[in-house]
Amino acid sequence: MKKLETLLVEEKEGIAIITLNRPKAMNAINDTVMEEFGYLFSEGLDMASLKGIIITGSGEKAFIAGADIKEFMELDVDGGTKKSAFGHKVFDSIENCPVPVIAAINGYSLGGGNELAMACHMRICSDNARFGQPEVNLGLIPGYGGTQRMIQYIGKGRAMELLLTGDMIDAVKALEYGLVTHVTPQEELIPTALKILSKIASKGPRAVAGIIKTVNAYFDNTVNGFVKEINFFGEAMGSDESKEGVNAFLEKRKPEFRK
């Protein structure tokens, strides 16, 4: 893996913890951050050896407090379009990662940071977390998938209100809306994420990857998710993984799945 400037990567028992490390900038996303996330999810991480991935921010104030606005100053229509398209490409690679990705949100999750969190398969947060898409305050709209993914998680009405007002919601409201699945004290955030991923790691890795693909297919208008499920179920049924799972169940033992 090449040396990274803005991201720290640590591996614990097959789980990669990626920490955005720009604490003085409240972990704001700049071009380097996006390039390094793109590198990690395209070639930098050895997905075949991983059981899960956690994305978090350094410190206790911010997961990612938006984009680095200074980089917007010289953008024109063409530059803005390219910036958004690259962001979509990077976040799509996170969403379609074959191993489960949890956003461990340790504070402010705003703008592009919240869009990154929504690209992850699951989100958990500390009790001091705050969520929002404040782009409208700058005369902008979310550019990394926020207008689309927020609807998926909290519904059109709630998404429309948050996007149009630029208001923030707290951790309790985020749990109520379904944006996150767990709220924990700050010190329990990473242990909770590790616990979830450890449980998933005990399941069949092909089945885990298949569930990620088929669930994502529900939101992809170019494919039929039901057909994708049928096909993957058939493939899974003929795999060594399913044979091990079924035999273990019948023999009343824990299955021994292999990557």
d(CA 105, CA 62): 8
Provide Rg for the chain, Cα atoms.
19
Question: CA-CA distance, 96 to 15, in Å (whole number)?
Answer: 17
Only one residue has tokens 């590790």, namely 194
Which DSSP string corresponds to 152-217? HHH-HHHHHHHHHH--EEEHHHHHHHTS-SEEE-GGGHHHHHHHHHHHHHTS-HHHHHHHHHHHHH
| 113 backbone dihedrals φ, ψ, rounded to 5° | -65, -40
Q: What's 61's DSSP letter? A: S
Show pLDDT as tens, one digit a residue, over the chain (259 residues).
889 999 999 998 899 999 999 999 999 999 999 999 999 999 999 999 999 999 999 999 999 999 888 888 888 999 999 999 999 999 999 999 999 999 999 999 999 999 999 999 999 999 999 999 999 999 999 999 999 999 999 999 999 999 999 999 999 999 999 999 999 999 999 999 999 999 999 999 999 999 999 999 999 989 999 999 999 899 988 898 888 898 888 899 989 887 6
Residue for token digits 């059981």? Answer: 51
Q: Which residues are catalytic, by number?
A: 115, 135
CATH second-level architecture of 7-200? Alpha-Beta Complex (3.90)
Residues 6 or more apart whose CB falls under 8 angstroms from that of 239 comprise 206
- Give SS3 for 106: coil
Q: Cα(13)–Cα(195) distance, rounded to whole angstroms?
A: 12
Q: Look-up: residue for tokens 């001091």?
A: 128
Rounded to an integer, what distance in angstroms lies between the CA atom of residue 132 and that of residue 162? 7
